Amino acid sequence: MTNVLDGSRNGLPAGTGRPSRASGHRRWLLPAAVAACLLLTGVGSASAAEPAPADILRAGAQKGVADGYPGVIGMVRQGDNAQYVHAGVGDRATKVPADPKAKFRIGSNTKAFISTVLLQLEGEHRLSLDDTVARWLPGAVAANGYDGGKITIRQLLNHTSGLPDYLSTLQVSGPYFLNTNPREVLPPQKLVDIGLARQAPQSAPGEKFGYSNTNYLLAGMVIKAVTGSEPAAEVQRRIIEPLGLRDTEFPTADPALYGNYLHGHAIRLILIDDVTVSNVQVSGSAGAIVSTLDDLATFSRALLTGKLLAPAQLAELKTTVPVDAAGNVGYGLGLEHMKLPCGKWAWGHNGAVLGYFSEWLTSEDGTEQALHANNEFHMLAGTQGQADTGKAMTDAFCAL
């Protein structure tokens, strides 16, 4: 779900969204005795001087395990030719190899699903993204100087609302971080209130980008106000079922995972806790979805190529606000557009929730994709593992 927005390339915060991979990476000193178990299928040929994209991703997965991750999985895809890599284990207890087909918690990658539903509702003339939050959620944002009558739905989705992040309060201490009460009932409004109480307004709505998971809790609440259904039900009906995402689900209360999944872990000093069973209500519509590399790739390709949105709404999805002064990163509605070091542009996002971290990149036309995920996140961004696996994903995408 991430408050530490996966801003590894962008210097954004870390939490539900995207942990920063910028500078000062903290390296956890752990035994790297986990044997790297690698799988590569369907790989195209490449010269010795230029490693194949999957080989680059595989080397990054190995580095991630050496950095202390229990396991890393990855995927590159050109057209319909998918190649998979994996290193380490999916469960430290059983030592089963990490499976690139396994499910994992996708964290803030959930945000693109939520923005898609709201854009579909706009296309059906049931709301406007320029409606205020107060129109649909009267009284939901009315504390500590914040006024929902001055914040639009669009500003929630592109993170220019100026609202503080509730997750910043929860991620460093308390039951969620310690995973002591995975069934604690946490209604979205309670979490929104925690966020509003964190600090007084630091900027006016629409003034600047500021990643906040509070925005997407409110976005999910708007979906329910407009449709009468929980956001999970709308995501299921509008996205998961039409795209045939058989390994994707949106849990709303049950903290467990089922079927073939990666076990999630949290490294705390020299201890590694299994946090697979964790509170999904903490992330909610900001980051609770469970999926796979294949399903996430299918969704992002379908989204960017207009299979889920009408042309007008697709244009809105891709309209970005600046994230960095250099103009190399812009944030749209639930995803970001970035210029990579190799000069290529890509759409993508990342997701980080307790126990799991993942990222994806997709070309404008959906023909080139690179994704990776690991089964460790302890609510801190900028680790060496995030840097090594993230760079490998970027380099693999550049090599496609």
What integer pLDDT is reported at residue 10 of this predicted model? Answer: 34
Render the burial of 198-209: b for 16+ CB within 10 Å, e for the rest.
beebeeebeeeb
Report domain extents, the chain: 53-399
Gap between the Cα atoms of 71 and 64, Å rounded: 8
- The H-or-E segment that residue 338 falls in is strand 336-339
* pLDDT recorded at residue 3: 34
The answer to whether 218 and 191 have CB atoms below 8 angstroms apart is: no
What CA–CA distances, in Å, run from 331 to 287, 336, 380, 384? 17, 4, 22, 25
Given a contact cutoff of 8 angstroms between Cβ atoms, the answer to whether 351 and 358 are in contact is: yes
Q: Are 133 and 156 within 8 A, CB to CB? A: yes
At the topology level, CATH places domain 53-399 in: Beta-lactamase (3.40.710)
Q: Identify which of 12, 16, 349 has the alpha carbon closest to the alpha carbon of residue 169.
A: 16
Q: Out of 8, 20, 108, 285, which one is annotated catalytic?
A: 108
The values of phi and psi at residue 81, to 5°, are -90, 105
Does residue 361 contact residue 307 with C-beta atoms inside 8 Å?
no
Q: Give the pLDDT of residue 17.
A: 52
If 0-12 CB within 10 Å is exposed, 13-18 middle and 19+ buried, where does residue 295 land? buried
Answer whether 166's CB lies under 8 Å from 194's CB. yes
Catalytic residue list contains 108: yes
CA distances from 302 to 53, 239, 308, 331, 366 (A): 22, 10, 6, 19, 8
Give the separation between CA 140 and CA 356, rounded to whole angstroms. 30
- Report yes or no: 370 and 55 within 8 Å, Cβ to Cβ: no
Residue that the structure tokens 């996205």 belong to: 239
Supply the pLDDT for residue 153: 98
Residues of the chain with pLDDT under 50: 1-15, 18-47
Q: Residues 58, 85: contact at Cβ < 8 Å? A: yes
